[in-house]
C-alpha cells in the first residue's frame, strides 16, 4: 500500500503557489488573475483551449506576476499528477488548489441522455475527487483547497438534475476531506455561486431569461466572475484561515 507523507512546511521566504483547474476562462480565469494579484505564482490548468490559457498567463505576466499554463483532463489521475508535478518543479510546491473545472448540462431528468450524465459526472465528481486527492497529498502546511459547488443544490431549479447531483457530491466531499486533513494546517472549503455572468452561463439564454435570473437574488443582478474570485481569495488567504469544511453560497441572497 502506497503511503503519502505530508509535504514539509515551506520557508517563510518561499513564493506561495496556486493551482487553478479550469483556470483559463470564466470564473477560473478571474480566480487565476485575482490570486496572481494577491502574490501567488499561478498554475493555470486548462482542458482544451490553450489560447485562452496563454492569454490568462500573459495578462498575469504583464501585471508583474508569475504563471504557467498546463493542460490536463481533471478526471485523468495521471494527467492531474503530472500537473502537480509541474507546479512543484516550476515553483517548489503547492499552497492553494482551486478546482474550478466543471461541466454543465441542462435537461429534464426524464429526457437526459445517459451518456451526457456520464460526461457531467466524470468531470464534476470523478474530476473533483482526483484533484482533491492530489491536493490532499501535495498541499503544504498553511494551504487551502477550494472546490466548486453551485447554489442550484439549494434552489433545485428544474433541468439542473444532473448538474446539481454532481455538485451535491462535491459538498459532501468538502467536510470529509477537511476532517481527513486534521493536523495538517490545511483548510478545505467549497464555493457555491449563484447565477454568474460567464460565457457558459449566458450561452443559449434569451435576454428575457437572463433578466429573470438576474432579478432572482435580492440584490437583483447577476454575479460576476470577479465577485466569485474575491470569495475564493478570502478562503485562500490569511483572513479565511478559521473557515474550514464549509460551503459558502456566493449568490446575492438566494436560498
The residues assigned a catalytic role are: 163
The neighbouring-strand residues paired with 69 are 44
CA-wise closest residue to 252 among 210, 219, 230: 219
d(CA 67, CA 41): 6
Contacts of 168-173 with C-beta under 8 Å, sequence gap 24+, read 169/124, 169/125, 169/128, 170/124, 170/125, 170/128, 171/247, 173/128, 173/129, 173/132, 173/147
Q: Cβ contacts of residue 179 below 8 Å, gap of 6+?
A: 245
Amino acid at each position: 500500500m502506497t503511503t503519502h507523507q505530508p509535504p514539509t512546511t515551506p520557508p517563510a521566504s518561499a513564493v506561495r503557489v496556486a493551482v487553478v483547474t479550469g483556470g483559463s476562462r470564466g470564473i477560473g480565469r478571474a480566480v487565476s488573475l485575482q490570486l496572481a494579484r494577491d502574490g501567488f505564482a499561478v498554475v493555470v490548468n486548462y482542458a482544451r483551449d490553450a489560447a485562452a490559457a496563454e492569454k490568462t498567463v500573459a495578462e498575469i505576466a504583464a501585471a508583474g506576476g508569475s504563471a504557467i499554463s498546463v493542460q490536463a483532463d481533471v478526471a485523468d489521475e495521471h494527467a492531474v499528477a503530472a500537473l502537480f508535478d509541474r507546479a512543484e518543479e516550476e515553483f517548489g510546491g503547492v499552497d492553494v488548489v482551486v478546482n474550478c473545472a466543471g461541466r454543465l448540462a441542462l435537461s429534464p431528468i426524464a429526457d437526459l441522455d445517459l451518456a451526457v450524465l456520464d460526461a457531467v459526472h466524470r468531470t464534476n465528481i470523478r474530476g473533483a475527487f482526483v484533484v482533491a486527492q492530489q491536493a490532499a497529498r501535495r498541499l503544504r502546511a498553511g494551504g487551502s483547497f477550494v472546490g466548486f459547488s453551485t447554489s442550484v443544490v439549494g434552489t433545485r431549479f428544474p433541468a439542473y438534475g444532473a448538474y446539481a447531483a454532481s455538485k451535491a457530491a462535491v459538498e459532501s466531499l468538502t467536510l470529509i476531506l477537511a476532517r481527513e486533513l486534521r493536523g495538517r494546517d490545511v483548510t478545505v472549503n467549497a464555493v457555491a455561486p449563484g447565477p454568474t455572468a460567464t460565457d457558459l452561463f449566458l450561452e443559449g439564454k434569451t435576454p428575457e431569461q437572463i433578466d429573470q435570473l438576474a432579478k432572482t437574488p435580492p440584490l437583483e443582478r447577476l454575479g460576476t466572475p470577479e465577485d466569485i474570485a474575491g470569495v475564493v481569495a478570502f478562503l485562500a488567504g490569511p483572513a479565511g484561515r478559521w473557515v474550514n469544511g464549509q460551503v459558502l453560497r456566493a449568490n446575492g441572497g438566494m436560498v
